[in-house]
Amino acid sequence: MIRLTGINRIFEVGDEKVHALNDVDLDVGAGEYLSIMGPSGSGKSTLLNLLGLLDRPTSGTYYLDDVDASSLSEDERATLRRDKIGFVFQFFHLIPRLTAFENVELPLTLAGVEPAERRPKVEAALESLGLMPRAAHRPEQLSGGQRQRVAIARATIMDPPVLLADEPTGNLDSASGSEVIDILEELNHRGITLLVVTHDEALGKRAKRRIHMVDGAIVEDVQQTPS
């Protein structure tokens, strides 16, 4: 599903060069559940942005679903991002003036899907996350857990094969946090490739495969034996 080879990402801050990713190789199969952990500045966010096609590597190749993503143009990457990748953010990133329904609908709207086709999809997504009674509410009228569930519904509405979650519980209390993790793991059970970036040890340990990063390099890649 995902194959990174010899990935380097160098930022130039002033006249200083920051090596955010240092020769990273990573293979992720379809349906895997990965956690990426590491201290601040270890490059895990940069890696996630790269995987999410929001950023391009300075050198190295990135194959997503057998497509060489590192050679694509800006617009081609936007299309690929739309179809293949779902994002879940720490701060939800819902559009405040749109209702829960409209927020979930947004990717379909941007892709130009007919309204008649959109409605049942969005309703099904909201229904499965227990959000149907909240469909007409705006984000400010929802609790944190509900907001993150709306964000998950939006991230998965295009049926992407890959779901990238950046500190998905970082802004939630533990109850709604575990609720959100249950939903993400349930999605993984149904076949989605799940990558979670987190500081939270407990959350990181739940993943079947754990990656630890330090100073832009992968220092640990542990496959957890099923217990």
Partner 1 sequence: MRGRDFIRLSTSAIVAHRMRSFLTALGIAVGIGAVVLLTSVGEGIHKFVLAEFTQFGTNIIAINPGVTTTHGVSGAVFNTTRPLTLDDADALRRIPQVLGVTSFVQGNAEVEHGKLGRSVTVFGAGAQTPDVLQLRPAIGRFLPDEDPRTARAFAVLGSKLRDELFGTQNPLGENVRIGGERYRVIGVMESKGQMLGFDLDDTVYIPTGRALAMFNREGVMEIDVLYDPEANSAEVAAQIKRILIARHGFEDFTVTTQDDMLETLGGILDILTLAVGALGGISLVVGGVGILTIMIISVNERTGEIGLLRALGASRQQVLSLFIGEAVVLASLGGAAGLILGVGGAWLLGATIPALPTHTPLSYVLMAELLAAVVGLTAGVIPARRAASLDPIEALRSE
Interface with partner 1 by CB under 8 A: which residues?
Answer: 49, 52, 54-55, 74-75, 78-79, 81-83, 87, 89, 91, 93, 95-98, 106-107, 109-112, 114-115, 154, 158
In DSSP notation, 9-70 reads EEEEETTEEEEEEEEEEEEE-TT-EEEEE--TTSSHHHHHHHHTTSS--SEEEEEETTEEGG
Q: Indicate the residue among 99 and 210 with the shorter CB distance to partner 1.
A: 99
**Dihedrals φ, ψ of 197, to 5°?**
-100, 130
Least gap, CB of 98 to partner 1 (angstroms): 6
Dist CA 166 CA 196 (whole Å): 6
Least gap, CB of 125 to partner 1 (angstroms): 14
Q: Indicate the residue among 93 and 189 with the shorter CB distance to partner 1.
A: 93
Q: Indicate the residue among 118 and 134 with the shorter CB distance to partner 1.
A: 118
Dihedral sign for Cα atoms in the order 206, 24, 159, 223: negative
Least gap, CB of 70 to partner 1 (angstroms): 16
Using DSSP, how many helices (H) and how many strands (E) does the chain show?
7, 10
Least gap, CB of 106 to partner 1 (angstroms): 6
Partners of residue 166 on adjacent β-strands? 197
Least gap, CB of 131 to partner 1 (angstroms): 18
Q: Indicate the residue among 151 and 210 with the shorter CB distance to partner 1.
A: 151
Q: Indicate the residue among 49 and 178 with the shorter CB distance to partner 1.
A: 49
Dist CA 124 CA 57 (whole Å): 37
